Amino acid sequence: MPRQLVWTGFMTLDGVVDSPGGAVEGHPSGGWVLRTPFVPESFALKAEELEETSALMFGRRSYEAFSSSWPASEDHIAYRDLPKYVVSGSFGEDALVDGWGPQEIVRTTEDVAALKRTEGGAIFIHGSAELARNLAHADLIDRYNVLVFPVLLGSGKSVFSRTDEDRRELSLRESESYSNGVIKALYDVVR
C-alpha cells in the first residue's frame, strides 16, 4: 500500500497560511496563531498527527525555517529522530543541519511519487505551501489536516492554487470546532 502524503497546517478563514508564527516570517500581519486565545484542545490534532507520522517533508524555505528552531525545541523533540525529506532542485547536502535525524534531499515531483510507493507510514508536510500546491497539482497529496483560524488576511501564501484546475473532490474525515473559534477539518482527497 502506498504511503500517504498529508499536508498539515494552520490556515486563516480566507485560506492564507503565511506567517502563522510571527511577522519575522514575512507577512506584515504574521503571528495570527499566537494572537488567537489558547485553548489546548484546539491543538490536540498536532499530538494525534505525531502518532501517525513516519517521516516529515518540507520545501526548501520551510526546511530552513523549521531546522533553525525545531532541532533544539523541547516542544518538537518527538520530531527529532524522524526521517526528513527536503524537496528542492537546488538545495545542497551541506545545508542539511546536524543532529536532526536522517535527512534526504528529493529533487523532483517524480522522486516524491517514487517515495510514496515505498514501504512505510504517512509522510507529513508542514508549511511548505508552494511544495503542497505542486504536489497537489501532480495528484500526490492524499489528505489535508487543517486548523482554520478565525482571521481574515486578504493576501498571502496559500496551499491551494489560485489558477483554474480540474475539479478535485474531498471527503470530510473529521471536523470539530473550539471555543476560541478554531475549526479542525480533516479532508481525504477522493480518487
Contact 34, 43 (CB under 8 A): no
Quick one: pLDDT at residue 109?
96
What single DSSP character describes residue 147? E
The per-residue pLDDT for 25 is 74
Residue 183's pLDDT band, with cuts at 50, 70 and 90, is very high
- For the record, the C-alpha cell of 30 comes out as 504574521
Judged against a pLDDT cut of 90, whether residue 1 lies above it is answered with: no
The mean of the pLDDT values for the chain is: 93
Burial class of residue 191, CB neighbours in 10 A (0-12, 13-18, 19+): exposed
Output the pLDDT for position 83.
Answer: 96
Contacts of 188 (CB under 8 A, 6+ apart): 142, 143, 170, 171, 173
Mean pLDDT of 169-187: 98
Residues 6+ apart with CB under 8 A from 175: 183, 184, 185, 186
- Torsions phi, psi for 77 (to 5 deg): -60, -30
Confidence at residue 119, expressed as pLDDT on a 0 to 100 scale? 92
pTM of the model: 0.93
Identify the residue with better confidence: 27 or 121: 121
Q: pLDDT above 90 covers what percent of the chain? A: 75
For residue 51, give the H/E element and its range. helix 44-52
Spell out the residues 6+ positions from residue 154 whose beta carbon is closer than 8 angstroms to its own.
14, 16
Domains of the chain: 5-20+29-119+137-189 (3.40.430.10)
Phi, psi values for residue 129, rounded to 5°: -60, -45
Residue 163 above 90 pLDDT?
Answer: no
Judge whether residue 103 has pLDDT over 80.
yes
Question: Would you state the pLDDT for residue 175?
Answer: 98
Instruction: Check whether 75 has a pLDDT greater than 90.
Output: no
The model's pLDDT over 24-54, given as tens digits with 9 standing for 90+, comes to 777 888 889 999 999 999 999 999 999 999 9
What is the distance between the alpha carbons of residues 139 and 137, in angstroms, rounded to a whole number?
A: 5
